Structure 1
């Protein structure tokens, strides 16, 4: 047994104990504490320390729903290590239903922070020093930005073997390679020795059950892979690893008709969206520039020239697209996500009479 007590945010946590606590990150205009609620759960056996965070962008709530499901479910047991569950990391943005902090800064571009900098930098340093620097691994749950939706996917620096292991263990079926922007939570955490992955899925301002279920299963998969939970992982035999993505942008203004859904595989030259005026006189279409998988898309049907419409991840091998389609078709959670996300947009078959 790991008999040593650990102090988390001013409270001693014994082996086998779980506590609800909070991390004070700032003060309000009335001098009251601004704090992040955190659940710390320790197993009786020693093991890794892992954080699972959500709502780093305060309007991205699918991860919040997934973590709350973990907190409300008494059926799972932590066998080794310590787990930090943070349903809302950016409480100031969350309380305003906003991606950003009150000063319009993006907290996810301010890490590892600065104790004498802006409010965002100061918040970032407290979070980084108090959570990231004390953890061995991290999982950060996100959604698409406002007016967009994403099919669940993991994002990681695949040049880092540990990040690759975590991304594959999560089992989303789609893995995007990238270090993340400078100052982003996952990039700076990984650089500081805490390999961290990001998972994106769904859209802002809601908890979509199908997306939250994907995230919840993925978190459990990672904990099982790290030997922190018992049980077999539920991971596809083949996962699509994507190293290049492209937003396909509108060429004309007008009303879009979508011909693909988030999570669909597409082939080069396939019509993915068409564009018409309000009297349905079609005058433009968008084609896939390469074969790949639809990572995400706009949820706004009206566009102007240059606005992003469909986000495609490039696949070098069409065989991977077939494997992805087969996995989604046979996996109930991902199939449900595909069907659900398709209801957020109107998907139709392309017509023949389109002027490019």
Structure 2
């Protein structure tokens, strides 16, 4: 796909439910305007309506409707930071189409600094939801009906789970041509080809006719500058591709479409010394971490299962048997690791900055430089 290629108006799919962006729950949303809308999704114990704040930006001309959501898991805040960058940017303006920005999708979980709903359900396993189901299922139904039902495309922003960090990567069903086009245009260096688990927002949105991708990047409870910049760049890339804003699409020189991933798990309890960092390209059997006892007498080397890229890793060096330590994506055929490394060395490379920033909170040393800790 040529990075400057754009869709024609005839290629824009129509909203999948027939709901219009021009009127939201009785509130007119005029062209060329910016409107704040509050979407009721549930009620408090006092019977007071719980409403999700969102902003709708409309261009002067017709075009696709795109949603961007964050904090579907209430503790994942990097996406919130990215959406706020767009909300507070006075120079950001659509020329066509409509953009729905939702900084906090799961307000119930966000208020508790938690991944989960108050009923302990994962909202991102409850879509498309049911109006007569559990609390999470009812919230999912309202979101799916009122938000996804009005949109043609979607971008859902996530981070790694608690005590882990992710190198920014797009998750997308690359067998769907429209989703694949969206994923490539977003411009992440790593794309994981996976349709998503049943009940996830992106999988169910795609099945309903709204091509949707996920960005995974960084940690919970943080707003990390390089991750925010990655997300904002990707959102703008998609909007430029859809001819909704002006500007050039910015993508890395190398994009890796990963079809296989594997978690490298600890066989024993111990304390970790990391030898690899998020985003690093590794060779098969390359040392990833040394797992030793508390006196450093037993060194158990954890190695890469294949030539790959480190998608994610734990940030807690204390580990128990079976716990995941490194998430490695298998390199696509004909991917040159040296070329990936060289492309990151360019001046002001976002990919290189991201690698460096994500490894700043863990101690990473080369295995060859590690002193003899008394191997037994």
Q: TM-score, normalised by structure 2?
A: 0.91
**1:227-242 map, 5 Å:** 227-242=243-258
Q: Say if 1:5 and 1:14, in contact at 8 Å, map to a contact too.
A: no
Partner of 1:295: 311
Is residue 304 of structure 1 aligned with residue 320 of structure 2?
yes
Partner of 2:224: 208
Partner of 1:95: 111
Q: Say if 2:256 and 2:335, in contact at 8 Å, map to a contact too.
A: no
- The whole-number CA distance in structure 2 between the counterparts of 1:156 and 1:343 is 28
Partner of 1:347: 364
Deviation at 1:5, TM superposition (A): 8.2
Where does structure 1 lack aligned partners over 5 or more consecutive residues?
A: none
- The whole-number CA distance in structure 2 between the counterparts of 1:54 and 1:320 is 34
RMSD: 1.5
Q: Say if 1:155 and 1:198, in contact at 8 Å, map to a contact too.
A: yes
- The whole-number CA distance in structure 1 between the counterparts of 2:261 and 2:186 is 21
Partner of 1:199: 215
Over 3 Å counting, the alpha-carbon distance change for 1:174 and 1:315 in structure 2 is same
- The whole-number CA distance in structure 2 between the counterparts of 1:192 and 1:5 is 17
| Higher mean C-alpha deviation, range 59-68 or range 325-334 | 325-334
Is residue 273 of structure 1 aligned with residue 289 of structure 2?
yes
Where does structure 2 lack aligned partners over 5 or more consecutive residues?
A: 1-19
SS in 1 for 2:335: helix
SS in 1 for 2:222: coil
Over 3 Å counting, the alpha-carbon distance change for 1:193 and 1:277 in structure 2 is same
Partner of 2:54: 38
- The whole-number CA distance in structure 2 between the counterparts of 1:242 and 1:5 is 35
> What is the number of equivalent residue pairs in this alignment?
353
SS in 2 for 1:337: helix
CA deviation vs aligned residue, 1:55-89 (integer Å, no higher than 9, x gap)? 00000000000000100011122111000000000
Q: Say if 2:257 and 2:332, in contact at 8 Å, map to a contact too.
A: no
**1:39-54 map, 5 Å:** 39-54=55-70
Partner of 1:286: 302
Partner of 1:177: 193
- The whole-number CA distance in structure 1 between the counterparts of 2:104 and 2:35 is 17
Partner of 2:175: 159
Deviation at 1:278, TM superposition (A): 1.6
Q: Say if 2:37 and 2:54, in contact at 8 Å, map to a contact too.
A: yes
- The whole-number CA distance in structure 2 between the counterparts of 1:262 and 1:282 is 25
| Higher mean C-alpha deviation, range 184-193 or range 232-241 | 232-241
Over 3 Å counting, the alpha-carbon distance change for 1:300 and 1:5 in structure 2 is closer
Deviation at 1:325, TM superposition (A): 2.1
- The whole-number CA distance in structure 2 between the counterparts of 1:301 and 1:5 is 48
Q: Say if 2:256 and 2:332, in contact at 8 Å, map to a contact too.
A: no
- The whole-number CA distance in structure 2 between the counterparts of 1:193 and 1:213 is 29
Q: TM-score, normalised by structure 1?
A: 0.96
Partner of 2:6: none
- The whole-number CA distance in structure 2 between the counterparts of 1:341 and 1:29 is 40
Q: Say if 1:247 and 1:311, in contact at 8 Å, map to a contact too.
A: yes
Deviation at 1:309, TM superposition (A): 0.3
